[in-house]
Amino acid sequence: MCGRFAITLPDEAVAQLFDALPSNDLPEVPRYNVCPTTPVATVTSAEGARRLRPMRWGFIPHWYKSPTDGPLLINARAETVAEKPAFRTACRERRCIVPASGFYEWTKDAEGNRLPWYITRADGAPMAFAAIWQDWSREGEDKMEGPTCAIVTCAATHEMAEIHHRTPVILEKGDWAKWLGEEGKGAAPLMQPPEPGTVRMWRVAPAVNSNRATGEALIAPIKG
Protein backbone atom coordinates (compact mmCIF):
# COMPACT_ATOMS: atom_id res chain seq x y z
CA MET A 1 0.00 0.00 0.00
CA CYS A 2 1.01 3.60 -0.44
CA GLY A 3 -1.00 6.02 1.70
CA ARG A 4 1.46 8.87 2.34
CA PHE A 5 4.57 10.10 0.60
CA ALA A 6 6.98 13.04 0.36
CA ILE A 7 8.18 15.09 -2.59
CA THR A 8 10.95 17.58 -1.89
CA LEU A 9 12.42 18.36 -5.31
CA PRO A 10 11.60 21.71 -6.96
CA ASP A 11 9.18 21.52 -9.88
CA GLU A 12 11.89 22.62 -12.28
CA ALA A 13 14.14 19.74 -11.23
CA VAL A 14 11.33 17.20 -11.59
CA ALA A 15 10.37 18.56 -15.00
CA GLN A 16 13.99 18.37 -16.15
CA LEU A 17 14.41 14.85 -14.79
CA PHE A 18 11.40 13.56 -16.70
CA ASP A 19 11.89 15.85 -19.73
CA ALA A 20 8.37 17.19 -19.18
CA LEU A 21 6.74 20.60 -19.64
CA PRO A 22 5.53 21.79 -16.19
CA SER A 23 2.04 23.19 -15.67
CA ASN A 24 1.73 26.52 -13.86
CA ASP A 25 -0.69 25.15 -11.23
CA LEU A 26 1.41 22.43 -9.63
CA PRO A 27 1.14 21.91 -5.85
CA GLU A 28 3.70 23.73 -3.76
CA VAL A 29 6.87 21.89 -2.76
CA PRO A 30 8.56 20.69 -0.65
CA ARG A 31 5.80 18.52 0.80
CA TYR A 32 6.73 16.04 3.53
CA ASN A 33 3.30 14.54 4.16
CA VAL A 34 1.33 14.16 0.93
CA CYS A 35 -2.10 12.75 1.76
CA PRO A 36 -4.91 11.20 -0.31
CA THR A 37 -7.46 13.53 -1.97
CA THR A 38 -4.85 16.30 -2.29
CA PRO A 39 -3.29 17.36 -5.62
CA VAL A 40 -0.08 15.59 -6.64
CA ALA A 41 2.29 16.23 -9.54
CA THR A 42 2.17 13.56 -12.24
CA VAL A 43 3.97 12.90 -15.50
CA THR A 44 1.82 12.09 -18.55
CA SER A 45 2.67 11.64 -22.21
CA ALA A 46 0.56 12.42 -25.26
CA GLU A 47 1.28 13.26 -28.89
CA GLY A 48 5.00 12.92 -28.37
CA ALA A 49 5.26 15.32 -25.44
CA ARG A 50 5.43 14.83 -21.69
CA ARG A 51 3.69 17.09 -19.19
CA LEU A 52 4.15 17.55 -15.46
CA ARG A 53 0.61 18.26 -14.30
CA PRO A 54 -1.46 18.13 -11.10
CA MET A 55 -4.06 15.45 -10.37
CA ARG A 56 -6.23 14.57 -7.39
CA TRP A 57 -4.74 11.58 -5.58
CA GLY A 58 -7.77 9.33 -5.38
CA PHE A 59 -9.00 7.76 -8.61
CA ILE A 60 -12.68 8.42 -9.34
CA PRO A 61 -14.35 5.96 -11.76
CA HIS A 62 -16.54 7.60 -14.40
CA TRP A 63 -19.73 6.16 -12.89
CA TYR A 64 -19.27 7.79 -9.47
CA LYS A 65 -21.91 10.48 -8.96
CA SER A 66 -19.71 12.27 -6.41
CA PRO A 67 -16.11 11.89 -5.20
CA THR A 68 -17.44 10.01 -2.16
CA ASP A 69 -19.86 7.76 -4.05
CA GLY A 70 -17.70 4.71 -3.37
CA PRO A 71 -14.39 3.61 -1.84
CA LEU A 72 -11.45 5.99 -1.94
CA LEU A 73 -9.21 4.45 -4.61
CA ILE A 74 -5.72 5.73 -3.87
CA ASN A 75 -4.03 2.47 -4.92
CA ALA A 76 -4.59 -0.06 -7.69
CA ARG A 77 -3.31 -3.62 -7.25
CA ALA A 78 -0.95 -4.73 -10.01
CA GLU A 79 -2.46 -8.20 -9.93
CA THR A 80 -5.94 -6.96 -10.91
CA VAL A 81 -5.53 -3.44 -12.37
CA ALA A 82 -5.93 -4.69 -15.95
CA GLU A 83 -9.16 -6.52 -15.11
CA LYS A 84 -11.14 -4.43 -12.60
CA PRO A 85 -13.85 -2.31 -14.29
CA ALA A 86 -12.73 0.81 -12.41
CA PHE A 87 -9.15 0.57 -13.67
CA ARG A 88 -8.85 -1.56 -16.80
CA THR A 89 -9.32 1.18 -19.42
CA ALA A 90 -6.97 3.53 -17.57
CA CYS A 91 -4.38 0.76 -17.28
CA ARG A 92 -4.51 0.31 -21.04
CA GLU A 93 -4.79 3.94 -22.15
CA ARG A 94 -3.96 6.36 -19.31
CA ARG A 95 -0.81 5.49 -17.42
CA CYS A 96 1.21 8.14 -15.62
CA ILE A 97 4.10 8.51 -13.18
CA VAL A 98 3.95 10.06 -9.71
CA PRO A 99 7.37 11.47 -8.72
CA ALA A 100 8.29 11.13 -5.04
CA SER A 101 11.26 11.49 -2.75
CA GLY A 102 10.06 8.67 -0.50
CA PHE A 103 6.99 7.21 1.16
CA TYR A 104 5.79 6.11 4.58
CA GLU A 105 4.72 2.76 5.92
CA TRP A 106 3.75 1.58 9.40
CA THR A 107 4.40 -1.33 11.71
CA LYS A 108 2.99 -1.89 15.21
CA ASP A 109 4.67 -2.55 18.52
CA ALA A 110 3.52 -5.00 21.16
CA GLU A 111 1.03 -2.46 22.53
CA GLY A 112 -0.49 -1.80 19.10
CA ASN A 113 1.07 1.63 18.63
CA ARG A 114 1.65 2.62 14.99
CA LEU A 115 5.34 3.04 14.23
CA PRO A 116 6.08 5.00 11.02
CA TRP A 117 8.93 4.25 8.64
CA TYR A 118 10.28 6.34 5.77
CA ILE A 119 11.34 4.49 2.62
CA THR A 120 13.45 6.03 -0.12
CA ARG A 121 15.82 4.91 -2.87
CA ALA A 122 19.19 3.68 -1.66
CA ASP A 123 20.96 5.54 -4.48
CA GLY A 124 19.39 8.87 -3.49
CA ALA A 125 17.54 9.27 -6.78
CA PRO A 126 13.87 10.33 -6.85
CA MET A 127 11.25 7.60 -6.97
CA ALA A 128 8.92 7.17 -9.93
CA PHE A 129 5.67 5.47 -8.89
CA ALA A 130 3.67 3.71 -11.60
CA ALA A 131 0.15 5.15 -11.64
CA ILE A 132 -3.04 5.37 -13.70
CA TRP A 133 -5.41 8.29 -14.19
CA GLN A 134 -8.99 9.19 -15.09
CA ASP A 135 -10.75 12.46 -15.90
CA TRP A 136 -13.89 12.95 -13.84
CA SER A 137 -16.47 15.73 -13.69
CA ARG A 138 -19.93 16.36 -12.25
CA GLU A 139 -22.18 19.39 -11.92
CA GLY A 140 -24.22 20.40 -8.85
CA GLU A 141 -23.32 20.93 -5.21
CA ASP A 142 -20.35 18.56 -5.44
CA LYS A 143 -19.13 20.11 -8.69
CA MET A 144 -15.65 18.97 -9.51
CA GLU A 145 -13.69 18.37 -12.64
CA GLY A 146 -10.21 17.30 -13.53
CA PRO A 147 -7.91 14.29 -13.59
CA THR A 148 -7.63 11.83 -10.72
CA CYS A 149 -5.03 9.13 -10.16
CA ALA A 150 -4.15 5.98 -8.25
CA ILE A 151 -0.69 4.57 -7.50
CA VAL A 152 -0.11 0.97 -8.61
CA THR A 153 1.10 -1.41 -5.88
CA CYS A 154 2.40 -4.96 -5.90
CA ALA A 155 3.43 -7.62 -3.39
CA ALA A 156 6.46 -6.55 -1.37
CA THR A 157 9.66 -8.57 -1.34
CA HIS A 158 13.15 -8.20 0.07
CA GLU A 159 13.59 -5.15 2.35
CA MET A 160 10.03 -3.86 2.08
CA ALA A 161 8.47 -7.15 3.12
CA GLU A 162 9.98 -6.65 6.57
CA ILE A 163 7.54 -3.85 7.33
CA HIS A 164 4.60 -4.26 4.91
CA HIS A 165 3.23 -6.81 2.45
CA ARG A 166 2.58 -4.24 -0.31
CA THR A 167 4.79 -1.68 -2.03
CA PRO A 168 4.34 0.94 -4.74
CA VAL A 169 5.62 -0.14 -8.15
CA ILE A 170 8.87 1.85 -8.46
CA LEU A 171 9.83 2.33 -12.10
CA GLU A 172 13.45 2.49 -13.20
CA LYS A 173 14.42 5.31 -15.57
CA GLY A 174 14.79 2.95 -18.52
CA ASP A 175 11.16 1.86 -18.06
CA TRP A 176 9.53 5.30 -17.93
CA ALA A 177 8.85 5.50 -21.67
CA LYS A 178 7.33 2.02 -21.75
CA TRP A 179 5.02 2.78 -18.82
CA LEU A 180 3.92 6.07 -20.37
CA GLY A 181 2.99 4.30 -23.59
CA GLU A 182 5.74 5.88 -25.67
CA GLU A 183 7.22 2.52 -26.70
CA GLY A 184 4.10 0.57 -27.60
CA LYS A 185 2.41 -2.08 -25.51
CA GLY A 186 3.81 -4.52 -22.98
CA ALA A 187 3.89 -2.49 -19.75
CA ALA A 188 2.50 -5.33 -17.59
CA PRO A 189 5.94 -6.86 -16.82
CA LEU A 190 6.98 -3.55 -15.24
CA MET A 191 4.53 -4.01 -12.35
CA GLN A 192 7.02 -5.83 -10.14
CA PRO A 193 8.60 -5.15 -6.73
CA PRO A 194 11.97 -3.36 -6.71
CA GLU A 195 15.16 -5.37 -6.97
CA PRO A 196 17.08 -6.14 -3.77
CA GLY A 197 18.97 -3.12 -2.52
CA THR A 198 16.81 -0.59 -4.39
CA VAL A 199 15.37 0.99 -1.24
CA ARG A 200 16.49 1.85 2.26
CA MET A 201 14.31 2.71 5.23
CA TRP A 202 14.40 4.07 8.74
CA ARG A 203 12.09 4.78 11.65
CA VAL A 204 10.68 8.29 11.92
CA ALA A 205 8.81 10.10 14.68
CA PRO A 206 5.08 9.40 15.25
CA ALA A 207 4.26 13.00 14.31
CA VAL A 208 3.60 11.85 10.74
CA ASN A 209 0.69 9.76 12.02
CA SER A 210 -1.29 12.99 11.77
CA ASN A 211 -2.22 14.04 8.25
CA ARG A 212 -1.82 17.67 9.37
CA ALA A 213 1.85 17.29 10.27
CA THR A 214 4.41 18.89 7.98
CA GLY A 215 8.05 19.84 7.83
CA GLU A 216 11.44 18.27 7.15
CA ALA A 217 11.58 16.73 10.65
CA LEU A 218 9.00 14.15 9.54
CA ILE A 219 11.59 12.24 7.53
CA ALA A 220 14.43 12.54 10.08
CA PRO A 221 15.58 9.14 11.42
CA ILE A 222 15.04 8.23 15.05
CA LYS A 223 16.40 5.43 17.18
CA GLY A 224 14.24 2.49 18.09
Tell me whether residue 126 is in a domain.
Answer: yes
Residue 207 in domain: yes
Q: What is the mean pLDDT of residues 138-153?
A: 82
Beta-strand runs (E) in 36-187: 39-46, 49-57, 75-77, 95-100, 102-108, 114-121, 127-138, 144-155, 166-168
- Judge whether 71 and 87 are in contact, CB under 8 Å: no
What's the pLDDT at 139? 67
CATH code of the domain containing 24:
3.90.1680.10
Examine residue 196 and state whether it is found in any structural domain, yes or no. Answer: yes
Task: Identify the domain containing residue 102 by its residue range.
Answer: 5-219
User: Does residue 224 sit within a domain?
Assistant: no
Q: Count how many domains the chain has.
A: 1
Mean local confidence (pLDDT), 126-136: 97
Rounded Cα–Cα distance for residues 187 and 97 (Å): 13
Average pLDDT, the chain: 94
What's the pLDDT tens digit per position in 43-74?
Answer: 999 999 999 999 999 999 999 988 889 999 99
Average pLDDT over residues 88-96: 97
The pLDDT of residue 222 is: 95
Q: In this structure, is residue 74 part of a structural domain?
A: yes
